């Protein structure tokens, strides 16, 4: 029962943290895009003594990394990769092996429907671990596709920001900030 409560709390914590990070990233991105488009800063920035390097990258990548780091794990490609999965798997195996001997000693036989199961607690935990692993793979498999889509959308958004920087003179001349804002917001939202 305590395990169910702990797992539920961990899932809810993770969900709320991700929700907070996403909302914060959306707000901060809109805020900085507005500042960049306001007063033609995207164009005027080329003529200052020390221009800001790659403002498009600052808006897209730096905001993403900054907001995601508040959740303890940055939203960058290195997270969720084989390295992270490998260390997670190693930690899980070490935990199971470490506690297996203790669990084996604490376990006692249980009779179910006339059948006696020796060291039942140990086998129940092994069954639970197997079930949890299958469920984790079942839930985690779609995350691969979502991660790919996230990277693709980030690249599309970054390209639109670079395009705006390159066409800054024309956008400023035609006062196209509103159209560019709509375009950038559309690409950011996906």
From the centroid of its chain, how far is CA 89? 19
pLDDT at residue 52, rounded to an integer: 77
pLDDT at residue 47, rounded to an integer: 86
* DSSP H helices in the chain: 2-37, 41-44, 55-57, 63-69, 82-106, 120-166, 168-173, 177-189
Q: What SS3 class is residue 76? A: coil
pLDDT at residue 2, rounded to an integer: 67
Q: Per-residue confidence of the chain (190 residues) as pLDDT tens digits?
A: 666 777 777 777 778 888 888 888 899 999 998 998 888 888 888 888 888 777 877 788 888 877 876 555 544 444 444 444 555 566 777 777 888 888 888 888 988 898 898 998 889 888 988 888 888 888 878 887 887 788 788 888 888 888 898 888 899 988 899 999 999 989 888 7
Beta bridge partners of 103: none
């Amino acid at each position: 029962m305590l395990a169910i409560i702990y797992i539920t709390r961990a899932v809810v914590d993770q969900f709320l943290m991700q929700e907070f990070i996403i909302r914060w990233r959306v707000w901060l991105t809109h805020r900085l895009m507005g500042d960049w488009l306001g007063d033609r800063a995207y164009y005027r920035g080329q003529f200052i003594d020390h221009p800001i390097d790659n403002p498009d990258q600052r808006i897209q990548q730096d905001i993403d990394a900054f907001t995601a780091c508040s959740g303890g794990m940055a939203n960058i490609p290195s997270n969720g990769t084989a390295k992270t999965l490998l260390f997670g798997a190693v930690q899980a195996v070490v935990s199971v092996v470490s506690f297996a001997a203790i669990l084996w000693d604490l376990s006692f036989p249980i009779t179910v429907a006339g059948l006696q199961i020796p060291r039942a607690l140990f086998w129940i935990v092994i069954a639970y671990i197997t079930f949890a692993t299958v469920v984790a793979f079942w839930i985690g498999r779609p995350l691969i596709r979502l991660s790919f889509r996230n990277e693709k959308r980030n690249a599309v958004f970054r390209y639109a920001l670079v395009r705006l920087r390159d066409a800054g003179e024309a956008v400023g001349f035609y006062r196209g900030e509103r159209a560019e804002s709509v375009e950038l917001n559309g690409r950011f939202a996906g």
